[in-house]
């Protein structure tokens, strides 16, 4: 595929089940050999990674890179460059671009456009809204990794399907074994609480959290679990922010339903106290919640209830992110800080290090049917790696961030660990914070 060969020597492989010292040989983009003291005969390049951690490349299942149609916020070139520098080798791109990816034709066009720009490998979601369920089969045939379905209002304001349509779409999910990623917030309840809190005259940033209380998530997730129970459709609840969400997913898992959950670094690292420090920068949907929710999410991550992490990379322009809490756009950049933030948590002892490849590479790749090509360090898998110096440090600065508008609450955070190399199908695409080989990414499908 890519030609060439590289030998990674002396690293410590971090997999979901173990940390092992071993060399890896990648030939023509694929892992050809894993073992102790591999010889370098015939290998074009030897990279000494002694003492470094070798992770499978991160599969970020949740990014909004804004192209086409919303390039004033950010674009695929910047987004995937940030991914590369941050150790992410595959991104799954959300469909709330302009036009929304609601037909096979639009998916094909988006694929062609992004293929010319991709700095890392990428898959595409389709969207199912109120009027396009009939396009489901064609969008699957065009190579979508899955679908996003917005039950609550957010960027793009894509209207939700009605319950009958949802049932039908879940049946199709079961038929094709295609995952459906849900933005699970009940739209009517969000509308009701938003009006109530707004009309009270509040303008403090935390009013956003009260405008979308946990009941919005709980109602929506409970409904989706019921629908999965009756259809056997694959329901993936993305960006879980409420403890009720964790509890419901835990219960559904015990019942054996095909229900999984994702959360994001911001729900683990921030809580409503942080509005004082960061103001509207941390406005996101669903909202950052109180500490008790944050703790329940950590528990869910540690006990295996939460199946994946996603960054929910959601850049906006500086203009859109300022001003009052009601007008401010929801979301912020995240793909580049995704691995550094979680690595820091692991190196500080909050998260077992082997959870990183599990939640950020293997599980998303499995869910979206890209495993073991992606998300695995196994012979035959793509040679995708994030190589980390556990003794290094990373300071998040605007200059380091690759984005049209490097807006994130994490500016100034000092993190343990640094990403030294990102390798995509055997090619070093990023080194020490710089993209060194652009446009090596390609479209991938299940
Ligand atoms: O805060 C958010 N921003 N939540 C979403 O669900 C969408 C995202 C965006 O696209 O801006
Ligand atoms: Zn999102």
Q: In angstroms, rounded to a whole number, what is the distance separating the alpha carbons of residues 106 and 95?
A: 10
Q: Which atom of ligand 1 is nearest to the CA of 284?
A: 1
Strand (E) positions, 298-351? Answer: 308-309
User: Per-residue pLDDT for 163 more than 70?
Assistant: yes
Choosing from 92, 284, 329 the residue with most ligand 1 atoms within 8 A of its CB, the one to mutate for a pocket test is 284
pLDDT tens digit sequence for 226-252 = 999 999 999 999 999 999 999 999 999
What band does 3 get if pLDDT is binned at 50, 70 and 90?
A: confident
Question: What is the number of the ligand 1 atom nearest to the C-alpha of 239?
Answer: 6
| Model pLDDT for residues 247-292, shown as the tens digit of each residue | 999 999 999 999 999 999 999 999 999 999 999 999 999 999 999 9
The pLDDT value given to residue 323: 84
Tell me what pLDDT residue 355 has.
Answer: 98
Q: Average pLDDT in the 352-359 region?
A: 98
The number of the ligand 1 atom at minimal distance from the alpha carbon of 94 is 10
Which distant-in-sequence residues (6+ apart) come within 8 Å of 193 by Cβ?
A: 210, 211, 212, 213, 216
Average pLDDT over residues 215-223: 98
Please say if the pLDDT value at position 175 is more than 70.
yes
| Residues whose CB is less than 8 angstroms from the CB of residue 371 and which lie 6 or more positions away in sequence, other chains included | 362, 365
The set of protein residues with a Cβ atom below 6 angstroms from ligand 1 is: 64, 96, 154-155, 183, 284-285, 314, 330-331
Domain ranges of the chain: 58-367
Query: Any bridge partners for residue 63, and if so which?
Result: 93, 313
- In this structure, which ligand is nearest to the CA of 285? 1
Mutate to test the pocket of ligand 1, among 63, 149, 282, 331 (most ligand atoms within 8 A of CB): 331
Q: What's the whole-number mean pLDDT along residues 67-76? A: 98
Q: Which ligand 1 atom is the nearest neighbour of the CA of 156?
A: 10
pLDDT tens digits for range 386-429:
999 999 999 999 999 999 999 999 999 999 999 999 999 999 99
What's the pLDDT score for residue 188? 98
Reported as a single tens digit per residue, the pLDDT across 107-150 is 999 999 999 999 999 999 999 999 999 999 999 999 999 999 99
Q: What is the pTM of this model?
A: 0.98
CATH superfamily of domain region 58-367: Metal-dependent hydrolases (3.20.20.140)
Q: What is the mean pLDDT of residues 178-205?
A: 98
Question: Residue 399 C-alpha to ligand 2 middle, in angstroms?
Answer: 25
Q: Reply yes or no on whether the pLDDT at 2 is more than 60.
A: no
Grouping H, G, I as helix, E, B as strand and the rest as coil, residue 240 is coil
| Closest ligand, as measured to the CA of 241 | 1
Mutate to test the pocket of ligand 1, among 312, 320, 332 (most ligand atoms within 8 A of CB): 312
Confidence of residue 1 (pLDDT cuts 50, 70, 90): very low
Residues whose CB falls within 8 Å of the CB of residue 12, separated by 6 or more in sequence, listed in order? 19, 20, 21, 51, 52, 53, 54
């Amino acid at each position: 595929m890519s030609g060439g060969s590289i030998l990674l020597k002396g690293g410590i492989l971090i997999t979901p089940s173990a940390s092992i010292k071993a060399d890896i040989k990648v030939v023509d983009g694929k892992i050809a050999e894993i073992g102790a003291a591999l010889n370098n005969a015939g290998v074009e390049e030897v990279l000494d990674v002694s003492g470094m951690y070798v992770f499978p490349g991160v599969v970020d299942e949740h990014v909004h890179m804004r192209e086409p149609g919303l390039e004033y916020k950010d674009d695929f070139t910047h987004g995937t460059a940030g991914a590369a520098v941050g150790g992410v080798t595959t991104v799954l791109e959300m469909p709330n671009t302009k036009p929304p990816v609601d037909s096979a034709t639009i998916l094909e066009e988006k694929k062609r456009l992004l293929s010319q720009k991709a700095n890392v490998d990428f898959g595409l979601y389709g969207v199912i809204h109120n009027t396009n369920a009939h396009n489901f089969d064609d969008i699957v045939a065009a190579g979508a990794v899955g679908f996003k379905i917005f039950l609550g209002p957010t960027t793009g304001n894509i209207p939700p399907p009605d319950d009958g349509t949802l049932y039908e779409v879940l049946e199709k999910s079961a038929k094709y074994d295609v995952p459906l990623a849900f933005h699970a917030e009940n739209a009517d309840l969000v509308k009701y609480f938003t009006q109530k809190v707004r009309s009270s005259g509040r303008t403090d940033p935390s009013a956003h959290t009260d405008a979308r209380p946990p009941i919005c998530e709980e109602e929506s997730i409970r409904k989706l679990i019921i629908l999965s129970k009756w259809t056997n459709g694959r329901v993936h609840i993305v960006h879980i922010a409420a403890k009720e969400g964790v509890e419901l997913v835990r219960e559904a898992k015990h019942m054996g339903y095909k229900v999984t959950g994702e959360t994001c670094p911001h729900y683990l690292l921030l809580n409503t106290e942080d509005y004082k420090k960061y103001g509207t920068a941390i406005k996101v949907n669903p909202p950052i919640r109180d500490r008790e929710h944050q703790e329940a999410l950590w528990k869910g991550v540690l006990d295996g209830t939460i199946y994946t992490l996603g960054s929910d990379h959601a850049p906006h322009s500086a203009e859109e992110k300022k001003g009052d809490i009601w007008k401010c756009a929801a979301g912020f950049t995240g793909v580049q800080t995704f691995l550094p933030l979680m690595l820091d948590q692991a190196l500080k002892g909050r998260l077992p290090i082997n959870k990183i490849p599990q939640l950020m590479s293997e599980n998303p790749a499995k869910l979206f049917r890209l495993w073991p090509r992606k998300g695995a360090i196994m012979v035959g898998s793509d040679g995708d790696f994030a190589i980390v110096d556990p003794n290094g440090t990373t300071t998040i600065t605007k200059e380091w961030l690759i984005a049209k508008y490097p807006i994130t609450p994490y500016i100034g955070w000092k993190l343990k660990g640094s990403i030294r190399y990102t390798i995509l199908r055997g090619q070093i695409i990023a080194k020490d914070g710089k993209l060194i080989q652009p446009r090596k990414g390609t479209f991938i499908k299940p």
